Amino acid sequence: MDKRDIVERILKSIKESKLEKTSITKILSEKHESPGSLYYHFKSKDKMYKEVLHYSFGEIENSLEKVKLRKDSIKNLYRLTERLINFFEERDDILLFMIIYKGSSYIKSKTDSKRFLERFKKELEKEGIDEELTDLKLRAFTGGLCEILYTSIFIHEKYLTEKEILEICELFWGECK
């Protein structure tokens, strides 16, 4: 068992039963492994969930890297927003983890979640928005987007339409197309 395997099992378990009901026993039960093999990689549940968070941010970053940005294009914010929404729709396990992470007592220290939004930040800075306001907008965007997608995917069981994506983009960033 390696760290990536454990992380993927944690995400699967969280999606199936929520973070608070995810137990070490459940994570290990699929492959009939002992807790010792898990604690070989992670010294605590907190460290395990931090690794899941790190993995999740990496997956989001990789997804956003695929967006081809145009120089000085207002459409870049739309392209990035659309890709992030599509990513969360494809990886609803990571979306659910991000939602649960915000209120989790398992992860004690704060983690800088704006890393994966650096591409958004660069686009906003082109518009002349100062760094403090940019960070505030990114936090509001991330939290709001996760809540919108949670409601859409897990409650209404539907994906967002192109029109809804444009409305979200314009709500957070202004004109996007």
- Position 159 confidence tier, pLDDT thresholds 50, 70, 90: very high
Mean pLDDT over each residue of the chain, to the nearest integer: 81
What number of residues does the chain have?
177
Residue 18 has what pLDDT? 62
Contact 166, 78 (CB under 8 A): yes
Q: Which of 173, 52, 55 is nearest to 120 (CA)?
A: 173
pLDDT mean over 44-62 = 85
Residue 126 has what pLDDT? 75
pLDDT at residue 30 is higher than 80: no
Contact 81, 38 (CB under 8 A): no
Residue 115 has what pLDDT? 65
Query: Of 59 and 46, which is predicted with more confidence?
Result: 59
Structure tokens, 122: 């660069």
pLDDT at residue 67 is higher than 70: yes
pLDDT mean over 23-51 = 73
pLDDT mean over 54-61 = 89
Contact 17, 26 (CB under 8 A): yes
The CA distance from 167 to 35, in Å, is: 47
Q: Which of 177, 151, 12 is nearest to 91 (CA)?
A: 12
pLDDT at residue 103 is higher than 80: no
Residue 82 has what pLDDT? 95
In tens, the pLDDT along 108-147 reads 445 555 566 777 877 777 767 777 787 788 888 888 999 9
pLDDT at residue 175 is higher than 50: yes
* Percent of residues, the chain, with pLDDT higher than 90: 25
Residue 105 has what pLDDT? 45
Query: Of 173 and 149, which is predicted with more confidence?
Result: 149
From the number of C-beta atoms within 10 Å of its C-beta (0-12, 13-18, 19+), residue 34 rates as: exposed
